[in-house]
Amino acid sequence: MSANSRSLQKAMQKEMQDFTAMSEDEIQQRIVAAKAALGDRLIILGHHYQREETFIHADVSGDSLKLSRSAANSKAEYIVFCGVHFMAEVADIVSRPEQISILPDLAAGCSMADMANLANVERAWRELSEVREPDEQITPVTYINSAADLKAFCGAHGGIVCTSTNARHVLDWSFSQREKVLFFPDQHLGRNTAFAMGIPLEEMVVWDYDLPMGGLTPEQIKNAKMILWKGYCSVHQLFTPEYIDQFKEQHPETKVIAHPECSFEVCQKSDYVGSTEYIINTIRDSEPGTRWLVGTELNLVNRLHEQFKHENKSVHFMSGTVCMCSTMFRIGPSSLLWILENLLEGNVVNQITVAPDEKEHALQALNRMLEVSP
């Protein structure tokens, strides 16, 4: 790093410290003022899992793909993504060339996405070639919660991206192309979706990226339809079937709803399993007076509780232990304000860009997903 770059970085750090020293009320007022001044040059995207004091400033809320597509269809020059790194990458991939994707805090990542990196996936692909010809017999599928280079890997190898909403349609397409699927980085979404499609657990194996050949024998690989990456969401792993049983002992009328990133055992005990949008819509459309035990991120659960308590709906977090997603929770109002006031001064900070070759192949995988999704 050059001396000028270091000086600029220090100046920016000092400026950020000035923002964190402000009162919450002042920060909120200045965000509103900055948004008004930037007008339609700006769109703020808020993922459902964001903390409330940041989420309230979102122009559009939703899951990551919906948000990116909304931004691409907007007139905005600046896309400020209150989410995590891979979401801002998707926004850059699907947006127009003149649009700029920004992440208010570069430390906002995803531990599950980090469990699959390009080097390990490429090594797995090479090792699988010792048993099967992967480019002829295995479709690589990456969950949208992954880095851009993994989406590009899938694009280059005839693969595809999925979301928790369209995973079943994506797997249907994938098996129509080749006999097996390598699914990463979240093993639970892959397992829960495949099982619901009628694929038995015996035809699913877990690829441990820390072990040669994923810790599997050639025979296990030959017999498997689903090769599941050993990845998971730390928050969704917090939920247990035992807690569901304990809660329902006290409240037998409870309806249980879980995100498919939860374990197989939790999903099997749930009355409903689906994406974040599915969870929101199901609780919204339920009868007044219903009680819900929800297996997903705490900020969303709390928001649903507040949103529907006037209908006498009780919405509960599926754990007695509070565990925030430290990266999803990362973007606070001070970071958002720092970004917006820099934009007012003509400074773009924390821009997220995907290299042109990666963008091309990643877009191939994303477009395949959109073509097969309802």
Q: Is the pLDDT at 299 greater than 70, yes or no?
A: yes
Q: Are 102 and 350 in contact (CB under 8 A)?
A: yes
Note whether residue 360 is domain-resident. Answer: no
Note whether residue 258 is domain-resident. Answer: yes
Q: How many CA atoms lie within 13 A of 352 on its CB side?
A: 31
Q: Count CB-CB contacts under 10 A for residue 20.
A: 13
Distances (CA, A) of 28 to 20, 24, 39, 73, 244: 12, 6, 17, 27, 38
Over range 210-235, report the average pLDDT.
96
Task: Look at 129 and 50; give whichever has higher pLDDT.
Answer: 129
**Do residues 229 and 240 share a domain?**
no
CA distance linking residue 194 with residue 93, whole number of Å: 28
Note whether residue 86 is domain-resident. Answer: yes
Q: Is the pLDDT at 16 greater than 70, yes or no?
A: no
311-321 pLDDT, tens digit each: 999 999 998 77
Q: Point out the least confidently predicted range of 114-123, 222-231, 322-331, 338-347.
A: 322-331
Over range 161-175, report the average pLDDT.
96
Of 56-65, 261-270, 315-324, highest mean pLDDT: 261-270
| Cα–chain center distance at 65 | 9
Of 189, 211, 233, the one marking the end of a domain is 233
Over range 31-41, report the average pLDDT.
97
Note whether residue 45 is domain-resident. Answer: yes
* pLDDT band at residue 66 using 50, 70 and 90 as cut-offs: confident
DSSP states along 154-185: HHHTT-EEE-TTTHHHHHHHHHHH-SEEEEES
Note the pLDDT of residue 62: 82
Of 185, 209, 233, the one marking the end of a domain is 233
Note the pLDDT of residue 1: 47
- Longest CA span, the chain: 65
Over range 22-48, report the average pLDDT.
94
Of 269, 290, 317, the one marking the end of a domain is 317
Average pLDDT over the chain, rounded to an integer: 91
Q: Count CB-CB contacts under 10 A for residue 349.
A: 16
Note whether residue 144 is domain-resident. Answer: yes
Its domain, for residue 199, covers 113-233
Note whether residue 372 is domain-resident. Answer: no
Tell me the whole-structure pTM to 2 decimals. 0.90
Q: Is the pLDDT at 14 greater than 50, yes or no?
A: no
Note the pLDDT of residue 291: 98
**Do residues 180 and 282 share a domain?**
no
Note the pLDDT of residue 42: 97
Task: Look at 18 and 62; give whichever has higher pLDDT.
Answer: 62
Distances (CA, A) of 324 to 5, 27, 240: 34, 23, 16
Note whether residue 80 is domain-resident. Answer: yes
Q: Give the chain's domain count.
A: 3
| Share of residues in the chain with pLDDT > 90 (%) | 78
Note the pLDDT of residue 19: 75
Q: Is the pLDDT at 7 greater than 50, yes or no?
A: no
